A and B are shown apart, each in its own frame.
Chain A
């Protein structure tokens, strides 16, 4: 069994990893509550933005222009998807809406691999200014980008939770996600509110994509399918509570990294997000009975 000093650095790295999962996980839950869609293309859209930022910076544009381009691209693609396919799918159940975003994922994934081919041994990277400075906790060095990643997760979680709860626009979004028709009859400008939700969604994906490209890797496959692991945190929170998603993400990251020095389980630690999500879902649905009830 590993000693306490052995485990210590993994706490820090685990929190950082948890921050990574939280970025996408919180984004997914927020978007689900605002649009009723589990936006599985979250990672792909972020990856696209990050690759565009990379290309622009490589061509000589200043850093902040690239980052803006990243967020703008993600917002544009998401808004486009929402405007074109949102209304057609609005009446379908959440499952169909989620699977449709998988279609978007495939489209983006294919396009990214076409446009940014896998080169001969070269890899792409995005570096943010905060990468190079950090501080030390115990034996381990922490860099500022990791703190920003974690912090961004907190800010996004808190900010969007408040937005959804306390603002008129947020309430309208929640209402539409719940029942579009009734909300429309109440006089809420459904299309405009939906567009706002998708736009906000896209901006979130762009910001997350940029941070993840720095923290993890600028690789279309990695970033696109990272969302599957982040989904686990969202599922543990049953796609409802943003705060719970954040906590679940941290837990997943911690457990994952803390298993690293444990010989017997180390090779299986990548299962952590999936195993935890499956267990959580099965346990919490034990008492549930199907409900078809309307008053």
Chain B
């Protein structure tokens, strides 16, 4: 087991090394300290890595000193309803802020964080945005994760000049000037999963998603990729919650054929149910490979699935795998999670990673603000974030003043290995064949281009 793991890691390191020669902007690999690859103003990650635990006090500038100044108010809107809950992300951001507040704050100012939960009700979401700004008096929005929020509030944010830092889902999280996400969202993550399948030269792709708002928008990316690769693609949607996983699995396998790939875009419980049904019916080997967008990237899923899926299921990972990385940032993340993250029910995983990254960016930006912390100054600082190493992404993270933002557009691919997710492919840029990706790369200029040197 250990040997196998080391081999995989070595392989991954090898891939990274090769990738390092040919691709730009990567975050730290294994053990080596993170260093920005390209020029431009850079913010170095916290001090040199030590192979052991990192003290949480590193999150702030004055270890041990509690912040006592006037609070800087930030807000977030996250979905929380039966079946879908993103509270972990905001709770992790809160944990980070608590850590910062206990270690000097932002230039002595503590951060007061208002978290609003919503139940996918458009009127409620619009009302909560107003509540945060008008009643709670927040000056910045960090940590939004919502199925609908970007669509509903983006006009409001733009009117106020608020630049949100979020974990995006809806199209407007990536296509408007005032939202920049730390994750890739369902479309680009599905792009990554389909891209991997195409790279394995499958004969056909079946792309199946849950029937939530935006399926057409999400499918447009994979469809473009498949078309460019001259590979036929079938688009399916399923109403969730799924009550008949058997027929879903059968249909997918039939449509894909023996040389094809089935790529899923579902929330973890639904994806798990489909994969388990496929296993119960003995169908997992009837296609060339299975793929899944990033929600499947949890050890929990790997455990539930068991060994038959090793190197059979390839999951897109939009964030750096926490189990196999031990950079300073990753260790800090785990330490803060342990000390301050009692409300984060999912523990180590992509949700809390996103929360960590978003809070990290926000604090980094706030630290550069001179003078008062107003809506204007705070959001100008957010937009000025450039080539920041979050420790959770392949690339350095930039906000910038572009008309759209997809700052995280390189991903990993992982596969289950006896109960854990391990890396199958290192940082790979999402193909510019997806017109949105191409549009972003053009808008962002050279700082974010794919392979160059």
Binding site for B on A (CB under 8 A): 6, 9-10, 13-14, 16-17, 20, 113, 117-123, 125, 131, 134, 136, 140-141, 143, 216-217, 219-222, 226, 229, 256-257, 260-261, 266-267, 270
Contact = CB atoms under 8 A, between A and B. Distances in A.
A216 B280 CA distance: 13
12 contacts: A16-B246, A17-B244, A120-B85, A120-B346, A120-B351, A121-B295, A123-B268, A217-B243, A217-B273, A221-B82, A222-B241, A260-B248
A121 B80 CA distance: 12
A220 B250 CA distance: 26
B239 interface: yes
Contacts of A140: 250, 281
B99 interface: no
A118 B244 contact: no
B247 A118 contact: no
Interface string B190-211: 0000000000000000000000
B272 interface: yes
A117 B345 contact: yes
B412 to A, nearest CB: 17
A219 B88 CA distance: 19
B280 A120 contact: no
Contact of A134 (B88, B272, B280, B283): B280
Contacts of B239: 270
Contacts of B161: none
A260 B82 contact: no
B426 to A, nearest CB: 23
Contacts, number: 101
A226 B243 contact: yes
B85 A119 contact: yes
Contacts of B304: 125
Given A121-B298, A261-B254, A220 B82 contact: yes
Nearest to B248: A260
B250 A217 contact: no
A79 B87 CA distance: 37
Given A122-B346, A123-B269, A270-B239, A221 B246 contact: no
A198 B237 CA distance: 41
Interface string B419-441: 00000000000000000000000
Nearest to A261: B251
B244 to A, nearest CB: 5
B247 A120 contact: no
A125 B84 CA distance: 17
B339 to A, nearest CB: 18
B349 A121 contact: yes
A229 B250 contact: no
B282 interface: yes
Interface string B301-338: 00010000000000000000000000000000000000
User: B interface, how many residues as a size bin?
Assistant: 35 or more
Nearest to B239: A270
Given A119-B345, A120-B344, A257 B247 contact: yes
Given A117-B345, A119-B346, A141-B281, A256 B82 contact: no
B83 interface: yes
Contacts of A270: 239
B384 interface: no
B241 A219 contact: yes
A125 B352 CA distance: 23
A121 B243 contact: no
Given A120-B344, A141-B280, A260-B250, A217 B241 contact: yes
A118 B268 contact: no
**4 closest Cβ contacts across the A-B interface?**
A120-B346, A123-B269, A13-B246, A120-B88
B280 A131 contact: yes
A136 B137 CA distance: 64
Given A10-B247, A141-B280, A216-B243, A120 B269 contact: no
A132 to B, nearest CB: 9
Given A131-B280, A221-B241, A120 B345 contact: yes
A14 B242 contact: no
Contact of B251 (A20, A131, A221, A260): A260
Contacts of A20: 243
A6 B87 CA distance: 43
Contact of A6 (B83, B84, B254, B272): B254
Interface string B219-254: 000000000000000000101011110111011001
Contacts of B280: 131, 134, 141, 143
A118 B83 contact: yes
Contact of B83 (A17, A219, A261, A266): A219
A122 B352 CA distance: 13
B237 to A, nearest CB: 7
B49 to A, nearest CB: 27
Interface in B51-86: 80-85
A131 B277 CA distance: 11
B250 A13 contact: yes
A118 B85 contact: yes
A121 B346 contact: yes
B114 interface: no
Given A123-B268, A217-B241, A13 B300 contact: no
Q: Which of B81, B85, B247, B280 counts the most chain A CB atoms within 10 A?
A: B247
A58 to B, nearest CB: 13
Nearest to A257: B247
Q: Which of A9, A123, A257 counts the most chain B CB atoms within 10 A?
A: A123
A118 B246 contact: no
Given A14-B247, A260-B247, A118 B242 contact: no
Nearest to A222: B241
Contacts of B352: 120
B349 to A, nearest CB: 6
Contact of B247 (A13, A136, A143, A221): A13
